[in-house]
Amino acid sequence: MKVYMSVDIEGITGVVHGDMMMSTEREYDRGRKLMTGDANAAIEGLIQAGATDILVSDGHGPMRNILIEDLHPAARLMTGAGEARDACQLEGADSERFDAAVFIGYHAMAKTPRAVHPHTIAGAAVAELRINGRPHGETGLNAAILGSFGIPVIMVTGDTATVAEARAFLGDDIETVAVKEARGRNAAICRPPAATGPEIREAAARALSNLSRARVYAPERPLRLEVDFLTMQQCDRAARVAGVERLGPVTLLVPGDDPWQQYQTLWAALRNALYEPAGWLG
């Protein structure tokens, strides 16, 4: 069995503050180590349940956070800058046929209260993302895109808000592990890796063992994929990407019949939105 694993950092065991999330900050190396640890725990559980191949996609910020020298040898790692990827957190998901997917260290969507660093894909640009009129975060969006390939998401880990979000979109049968309870954007009641690691491993094993009961998340198609930006200037830049339609001062529509192509167009638009032109260009 082949499993696709997408890993973020905000929902990782013990990670609560931006200084553990970005390469320029003083506790980043701690965050990377903890991120690798949660991924390894999930890999171990998947192997126990019969996984024969696991592709791990590093899906946070610089997208080269996971320490490959410490990664479980049974896995392969998709790593490298987001600007070099066409499919953001799901790079490589179309490269072969995967039987299931797991999301490790995920976070709640933008505007979620009592969550560690809630945002949707690009917190500096996205105010809200909607599929068919319903706000989605990365959990729902990525599950819908993988669902278009027939790949069910069988497990999600993160804080308590993320777990609740995953169940709201993917159903109560999905395996989840809440590694912390957020008290605010930069604070949470955390359990140590010695406690969360075994839970992640056991949940991953159960999830894959019960694959026959897994459901694909499949919103009605064609997907009406809309994004609201924080500023009009960001929307201006995003609107220059081919394949999008501008609906208002800060709103774009990403039309299409192919969710995978829509996802790639969305990512291209977000990269444009985040790009600030050189000062000498005015």
In a domain, 103, yes or no: yes
Specify the number of domains making up the chain: 2
Q: Is residue 219 part of a domain?
A: no
Question: Contacts for 83-88 with beta carbons within 8 Å, 24 or more apart?
Answer: 83/271, 85/267, 86/264, 86/267, 86/268, 87/260, 87/263, 87/264, 87/267, 88/59, 88/121, 88/263, 88/267
* In a domain? residue 92: yes
Share of the chain above pLDDT 70, in %: 98
Query: Mean pLDDT, to the nearest integer, of 134-157?
Result: 98
Q: For position 282, what pLDDT does the model report?
A: 47
Binding site feature residues: 8, 10, 60, 107, 138
Of 17, 72, 117, 119, the catalytic one is: 119
149 and 13 both lie in a single domain: yes
Is the preceding omega at residue 222 within 30 degrees of 0, hence cis? yes
72 catalytic residue (yes or no): no
Domain boundary among 179, 213, 247: 213
Give the distance from CA 120 to its chain's centroid. 9
Binding residues for Zn(2+): 8, 10, 60, 107, 138
- Domain that includes residue 147, residue range: 2-126+135-213
Angle formed by the axes of helices 138-147 and 259-274, nearest 10°: 140
Note the pLDDT tens digit of each residue in 76-90. 999 999 889 999 999
**Interval 261-277: pLDDT, tens:** 999 999 999 999 998 66
